[in-house]
Amino acid sequence: MATHHWLRMKLCIRAIAVIYLLVHVVSDGYAGPKGAVGDLYMVDFSDKKVVQIDAATGLVVGDFVTTNFNYPVEARFGPNGNLFVATYLDSTITEFDGNTGEFIRVFASEGLDEPLGLRFKSNGHLIVANGRSNNITEYDSSGTWIGTLQSSYQGSSLGIDFGPDGNLYASNDKTQSINRYTDDGAFLNIFAQGDELGRAYGHTFGGPNNNLFVITNKVLEYDGLTGDFLGIFAFGSLLRNPIGITFGPMGNIWVTNNDSSNYGSVTELDAVTGEVILTVTGFNSPWGITVKPEPAHCLSMDVSVLTGGQDALWDVSGATPGSLVAVVYGFQAGSTVISGQSGFCATFGIDGIGLNQVVGSSVADGSGNAMINKFIPAQASGLTVLTQAAEQGTCPDECVSGVDTQVVQ
């Protein structure tokens, strides 16, 4: 009972802290852990680093990557979980460990000419928008230059992204348009066009209607199916020379502001109204911004409704027949790396997981299914509980499910 009261008090304090941050401008602070899934990773052009920001609170976790390279502008997490950074003046793409931020290697340099935007294709290849040569180049998973994907890129900076249809959307300043291409670079059509697209810095799809949001000196919104201009989504004094844009894990829009005269900042906008939720200040020259995605999951997990005083069921599928499957629990999203303890290798999307936080375990049947039952104490009602499954014996590879988050009824 004492533990239950302590947890409720801890969660209450966290909720109050989040509410406080949502109504105040955030200037500095520290959160954690480093390399967390779902956090924001913002490239600071002048300070030559990538800064990690807690997406839930706006607190600065710290410097995730520091470099001696000449002006990084964009960063993206690859299919292998590592972070890839485009360095403008060095004309390189550099790979860093996705959990620690440690330098791994110069991933690519051939064919690059002042690289700007980065995106990964569905086949795992990296495409790069080059500012000086005005083209888009492609690289395989080893960093080998495959060739030029598109030779008519005329964007201002970070203006490439894949849409919900799997096609490539690239900005063109000369034609004042966003053009649509197949993922192999074949031109399809002009998706959106108008004077307001004469200098589009970055764009992304998202929101309730999967519309296209474009950065100029404002945030503009276009219909995600037709390309029709819907209007100015956001502008004002807190958007000062905006460049980078991404959707955060809570569905809101995050924009970088590269305003050297008033210090750089990152602003969170409500994805429906465009209203400012919070602003994180204290940076030098913010450019690209991205979110660390959850790793691909080799397990699927269905969880019954968690109700205090009743049994709950975790139904896990996709495991190796005969392997041991365990489900762990926690109370806060984050990142916990388990490297070989009790035969498990996993990066959990839950903060502070220990071997004592196991819901239960079960051996997978011949179809790879494992079922775990657990009685939920009545005093757990009202708690937010996160659970996730992992398979034993897959090291060094990881085999986990997604995170299930529920408030106990």
Residue with the larger pLDDT of the pair 137 and 67: 137
Segment 60-103, tens digit of pLDDT: 999 999 988 889 999 999 988 899 999 999 999 999 999 899 99
User: What is the architecture of the domain spanning 300-407?
Assistant: Single Sheet (2.20)
For the segment 178-234, what is each residue's pLDDT rounded down to a tens digit? 999 999 999 999 999 998 898 889 999 999 999 999 999 899 999 999 999 999 999
Q: Domain spans of the chain?
A: 21-291, 300-407
Tell me how many degrees the CA angle 156-158-162 measures, rounded to the nearest 5: 125
Contact 358, 328 (CB under 8 A): yes
Using 50, 70 and 90 to split pLDDT, how confident is the model at 350? Answer: confident
Top pLDDT among 266 and 30 is at 266
CA 71 to centroid of chain Cα atoms: 22
Nearest to 17 by CA among 60, 52, 59: 59
Largest CA distance in the chain: 67
What's the rounded mean pLDDT across residues 332-359?
84
Mean pLDDT of 12-33: 38
| Sequence-ordered list of residues with C-beta below 8 angstroms from that of 275, at least 6 positions apart, any chain | 234, 269
pLDDT digits (tens, 9 = 90+) for 271-291: 999 999 999 998 999 999 999
> Higher-confidence residue: 125 or 56?
125
Q: Which residue, chain included where needed, has tokens 């490297």?
A: 339
What pLDDT does 96 receive? 95
Residue 302 has pLDDT above 60, yes or no: yes
Q: How large is the average pLDDT for residues 378-402?
A: 91
Cβ neighbours, 10 Å, residue 291: 18
Q: What's the pLDDT at 339? A: 84
pLDDT at 261: 63
pLDDT for 340? 86
Residue 88's CB is within 10 A of a number of other CB atoms, namely 21
pLDDT score recorded for residue 83: 96
Q: Which of 316-320, 364-368, 392-396 has the lowest mean pLDDT?
A: 392-396
Q: What is the pLDDT of residue 228?
A: 96
Name the pTM for this structure.
Answer: 0.73
User: How large is the average pLDDT for residues 119-130?
Assistant: 94
Question: Where on the phi/psi map is residue 164: left (φ > 0), alpha (ψ -120 to 50), or beta?
Answer: alpha
Q: What is the mean pLDDT of the chain?
A: 87
- Contact at 8 Å (CB) between 69 and 105? no
Q: Residue 31's pLDDT is what?
A: 52
| Backbone φ and ψ of 77, nearest 5° | -85, 135
The answer to whether 26 and 282 are in contact (CB under 8 A) is no
CB atoms within 10 A of CB 365: 13
Using alpha carbons, select from 32, 33, 39 the residue that is nearest to residue 250: 39
Percent of the chain with pLDDT over 90: 66
DSSP lists the bridge partners of residue 179 as 170, 190
Q: DSSP code of 39?
A: -
Taking the C-alpha atoms of residue 71 and residue 258, their distance in angstroms, rounded to an integer, is 14
Q: Is the pLDDT of residue 23 over 60?
A: no
pLDDT score at 262: 58
Q: Give the model's pLDDT for residue 260.
A: 63
Q: Which residue has the tokens 């108008």?
A: 194
> Token pair for residue 259?
């305003």
CATH class of the domain comprising 21-291 = mainly beta
Helices (H), 203-352: none
Q: What is the CA radius of gyration of the chain?
A: 22
Angle among Cα 93, 98, 103 to the nearest 5 degrees reads 55
Q: Answer whether residue 13 shows pLDDT above 80.
A: no
Alpha-carbon torsion (276, 22, 85, 337), positive or negative: negative
Angstrom distance (rounded) from CA 177 to CA 154:
10
